[in-house]
Amino acid sequence: NGFINLALPFFGFSEPIPPVKTKCNDSEFSEWDSFDYDHDITLQELIDDFEKTHKLELTMVSSGVSMLYASFYSKKKLESRLPMKVSELVKSVTGKDVPAHTKWVMLDVCCEDAEGEDVEVPAIHVNVRN
């Protein structure tokens, strides 16, 4: 990376420092990482995979400004949303189809570990056009 300060006769070059790594259970990740799913999974599959693979409980899932899942939702709402694929869920909540040019949907999640502490995890990318 380089930059020039036009007010001073200064040319600067630097190497970016690596991001801070977060260690949780057996996993280690940073802000630069992402969890990628190569097929359109259901919300229940996503929740189960996080519990099995990362030993984390998903407490909230959102896409953009739309909250797709929250652990405090009513039982009726959860029963209708858990079996939905991510693309169907986004359409159901936002009222709009995933655009035809969009191959991946990015999900932001909030997680808790076994002790109930919040854990920051990278974004989740789901391929909805495989």
To the question of pTM greater than 0.75 for the whole model, the response is yes
User: How far apart, in whole angstroms, are the C-alpha atoms of residue 17 and residue 71?
Assistant: 36
Q: Partners of 37 in the beta sheet?
A: 126
Range with the lowest mean pLDDT among 24-33, 37-46, 52-61?
A: 24-33
Query: Phi, psi at residue 94, to the nearest 5°?
Result: -85, -20
What pLDDT score does 42 carry?
A: 96
Q: Quickly state the pLDDT bin for 14 (edges 50, 70, 90).
A: confident
* Strand ranges for 30-119 from DSSP E: 34-37, 57-63, 66-70, 104-112, 118-119
- 87-98 per-position pLDDT tens digit: 999 999 999 999
Q: Are 121 and 54 a contacting pair, CB within 8 Å?
A: yes
Predicted pLDDT at 2: 86
**Model confidence band, residue 17 (pLDDT cutoffs 50, 70, 90):** confident
